[in-house]
Structures are given as C-alpha cells and as structure tokens.
Amino acid sequence: MTAGLSHEEEEAIIPLEELSECDVANMTVGSIFRWVIGYERSPGGMKKRVSQIVFRDLPRITERDFRKGTEWARETIRALKL
C-alpha cells in the first residue's frame, strides 16, 4: 500500500526467485510483507538502485488472542468512559 492511502492501488507479480529460500518455504496465502525500493549510497558516493522484499516474522494471532484483545479494548473504553 502506498503511504497515506487507505487501500491498495498497485499490483505486482514477484517471481519466487526474488525471495530467499527460507521466505518461500514459510510463505502462505495472506503472508504480510513490505517491498522496499530505493537507492543505496556507498561511502564513496556511488548510488545503486536496490529492491528488498521483507516478510514479517511474527507469531500468528489465535482466536483466543483476538478474544482477549477485544475484551481488553472494551474494558479500556469503559475505563476511559468513551
């Protein structure tokens, strides 16, 4: 998603060869990643275009985690009288 937008506007087809073997092995439908595209400058001043795909390596949220989070949010809203 482009910064500042509330929904995606662009789509890309990324060949599996662009990913590390570890990322391919752990990838599933719905995996969250970010694609960093920019420039890298060497200490000598040389500018190089770079592209890096980074997958989030976080534990999955369980149904129990979701319920606990929802209850915590309700209690917080009540405590703040919102």
Per-residue pLDDT band for 2 (boundaries 50, 70, 90) equals: low
Pair 16, 23: CB distance under 8 Å: no
Terminal C-alpha separation, the chain: 31
Q: Residue 29 has what pLDDT?
A: 84
Domain presence at residue 64? yes
Domains of the chain: total:
1
Give, in degrees to the nearest 5, the angle at Cα 49 between 45 and 51. 135
Q: Does 69 score more than 80 pLDDT?
A: yes
Handedness of CA 68, 74, 78, 80 (dihedral sign): positive
49 in any annotated domain = yes
CA 26 to chain centre: 14
* Assigned domain for 28 exists: yes
Q: Which domain holds residue 67?
A: 16-80
**Listed range (58-62, 67-71, 75-79) with the worst mean pLDDT:** 58-62
Long-range contacts (CB closer than 8 Å, 24 or more residues apart) made by 1-10: none
For 5-63, the pLDDT digits (tens) are 777 777 888 899 989 998 898 888 888 888 899 999 999 999 999 999 988 877 888 99
